[in-house]
Structure 1
Amino acid sequence: MQVQVSELSEVVSRLRRVEGQISGIIRMIEDGRECKDVVTQLAAAARALDKAGFKIIATGLRHCMTENDEGVRAVDVAEMERLFLSLA
């Protein structure tokens, strides 16, 4: 399953924000911030990564459900299920 980069621009933006969050978390640890604050930020970054993964899968599903030139839908259900469950 190949998805066009243009279809994932929202995901790239989300991942860039997560990249900034991770840098902030590293600084928090280096600055000796409270564990509660660090864990809160880690949880937020993890949720953002999960959402990015689910968005990629959803985009892939839409892409796979679209009929090709021959009018056939090329869905590899096992692969989509594996990808979905890998985020669980």
Structure 2
Amino acid sequence: MQLDPTDLKPAIARLKRARGQLDAVIRMMEEGEDCQKVVTQLSAASKAIDRVGYLVVAGGMKKCFTQPGAADTLDEEAMVKMFLSLA
């Protein structure tokens, strides 16, 4: 299922933020920064990426349930697999 690019703007912005966090983690590790600070930044980047996954899945589900006839072609197994891949 294709998502509307305008629906993806929040997800793209979140990924760009996560990319910045990952760049910071790399820089911190290269500079020998404190382990706790590195892990804190890694955690923040990981959560941001996870949230993007949920946004994409939620957008797909919304599209499936709001567009006429889309629910008829819904591949439930694929949706479940996609959702569980984020767990």
Q: Give the TM-score range, shorter chain.
A: over 0.9
Listed as ranges, the gaps of 5+ residues in structure 1 are: none
Q: Are 1:24 and 2:24 matched, yes or no?
A: yes
**TM-score normalised by L of structure 2:** 0.92
1:85 is matched by which residue type in structure 2? L
The gaps in structure 2 that reach 5 residues or longer are: none
Task: Look up the equivalent residue of 1:57 and give its one-letter code.
Answer: V
How far has the Cα of 1:72 moved from its partner?
5.4
| Higher helix content, 1 or 2 | 2
Mapping for residues 14-53 of structure 1, pairs under 5 Å = 14-53=14-53
> What is the CA–CA distance in structure 2 between the aligned matches of 1:61 and 1:14, rounded to whole Å?
20
Root mean square deviation of aligned Cα: 1.1
Q: Which runs of 4+ in 1 moved over 6 A?
A: none
Q: Which residue of 2 aligns with 1:67?
A: 67
Q: How high is the sequence identity, in percent, across the aligned residues?
A: 42
Amino acid at match of 2:8: L
CA shift, 1:64, in A, is 1.0
Deviations 1:23-62 (A, max 9, x none): 0000100110011110111011001100000000000000
User: Relative to 1, partners in 2 of residues 1:78 and 1:32: Cα closer, same or farther, differing over 3 Å?
Assistant: same
TM-score scaled by structure 1?
Answer: 0.91
1:80 match: 79
Shifted more, 1-10 versus 59-68: the winner is 59-68
